[in-house]
Structure 1
């Protein structure tokens, strides 16, 4: 989970800019939630090693900066054990 603190409206606009910078189809499960003090982004990775490499790497830092977002607080939530998708949705 990536927590971005600040004005939610500005952060949501930055999140939209960040999504526009990503190649189509790169995200598998990605949620953005407005919180009382900003936004929280829940984003999945194939495994812990990919998450650790991505979240601490220069590509992620450059992506966040290019979108005009502040440095997030990064928190591992754990391993996904199951999820439900609407009928007809593919992964």
Structure 2
């Protein structure tokens, strides 16, 4: 599993609302691990893909640009982070 980061700069409250709209546009069950963090500069989203190749393809695709634009998100700074080696979540953890 590969982890990527999307940094959206702007008003955090507006970006969080747009992020919620983006999630509502996605088919149920599409996301395996997706984390949104509010920062002083906006929001940062950490998201997984099956591989680096899938991440590179999706994050640079017209489909991704349309998804974010339709939700009202600005173009993000995109950063490929790396292969996930391990992670621990409490049993039954949800967002």
Spell out the pairing of 1:6-85 with structure 2 (5 A cutoff).
6-85=10-89
Q: Structure 1: where are the runs of 5+ without partners? A: none
* Structure having greater relative contact order (Cα 8 Å, sep ≥ 6): 2
Shift of the alpha carbon at 1:85? 2.2
Alpha-carbon RMSD across the aligned residues, in angstroms, is 1.0
> What TM-score, normalized to structure 2?
0.90
Counterpart Cα distance in 2 of 1:67 and 1:44: 20
Q: Structure 2: where are the runs of 5+ without partners? A: none
Instruction: From the superposition, tell whether residues 9 and 83 of structure 1 become closer, same or farther in structure 2 (CA, over 3 Å).
Output: same
Deviation track 1:44-81 (CA, whole Å, cap 9, x = no partner) reads: 00000000000000100000000000000001111100
Counterpart Cα distance in 2 of 1:13 and 1:71: 15
> What TM-score, normalized to structure 1?
0.94
Counterpart Cα distance in 2 of 1:88 and 1:62: 33
| Structure in which a larger fraction of residues adopt strand | 2
Moved over 3 A (4+): none
Name the count of aligned residue pairs.
89
